[in-house]
Amino acid sequence: MSTMTAEQALFLLQNVYLGSLKNESRITKKVLEAVPAGKCEHRPDPISKSAIELARHIAVAENRFLETVINGVFDASASALPDTVKTPQEVAAWYEQRFAKNFDALARLSGDQLVKMVDFRGLFERPAVTFVVLGLHHTIHHRGQLSSYLRCMGAKVPSIYGESYDDAQARKAAGG
């Protein structure tokens, strides 16, 4: 990997990553909120995570990746959900609050902070800013898993990239 300059890292963060992060976080919150509280233990297969396990993983991991950039170190124990956060609504609210705090901190980082090399579990080292995209891809992957659970649980699937069937039906019913 060629060396990234502080200026390049700052450009990427401010002109590419921050806008995508903000948009994706709105979608993630909608998917987390769509999980029916009474069906949290749903799993499509015995080896799959339950819906609430997946929701909790998404909320924690995305914030962990952002905190990796902010703190310049990958800490596998960071961003743990408090034991009081149990329902999908509580997970979504915790996610939104933690994300907002981390987003603000991320937006204030210097180029030098963004190019600090960060070790990921001994597997590879990359400039801190690249963990924004790693986290984003991780979230999108697991959010897709969770959204595929929704209809099976009797929930409505929110619009993710383009209007969902359920949102289109709601719009038509409202006369739109």
CATH number, position 78:
1.20.120.450
Q: 120 in a domain, yes or no?
A: yes
- Choose the weakest-confidence range: 3-7, 23-27, 79-83, 132-136: 79-83
Q: 132 in a domain, yes or no?
A: yes
What 3-state class would DSSP assign to 162? strand
Q: 89 in a domain, yes or no?
A: yes
Query: Is the pLDDT reported for residue 8 higher than 80?
Result: yes
* List of long-range contacts for 22-27, beta carbons under 8 Å, 24+ apart: 22/103, 24/136, 24/139, 24/140, 25/62, 25/95, 25/96, 25/99, 25/103, 27/143, 27/158, 27/160
Residue 77 is predicted with a pLDDT of: 76
Q: 1 in a domain, yes or no?
A: no
Question: 98 is in which domain, residue-wise?
Answer: 6-173
pLDDT tens digits for range 56-111: 999 999 999 999 999 999 998 776 899 899 999 999 999 999 999 999 999 999 99
- Return the closest-CA partner of residue 52 out of 85, 77, 27, 75: 85
Q: 91 in a domain, yes or no?
A: yes
Q: 135 in a domain, yes or no?
A: yes
Query: Is the pLDDT reported for residue 2 higher than 60?
Result: no
pTM of the model: 0.93
Domain count, the chain: 1
pLDDT tens digits for range 119-175: 999 999 999 999 999 999 999 999 999 999 999 999 999 999 999 999 999 999 999
Residue 63 is predicted with a pLDDT of: 96
Residue 51 is predicted with a pLDDT of: 98
Dihedral over alpha carbons 164, 90, 137, 10 (to 10 degrees):
110
Pairing of β 117-120 and β 124-127: antiparallel
- Return the closest-CA partner of residue 68 out of 124, 4, 131, 139: 131
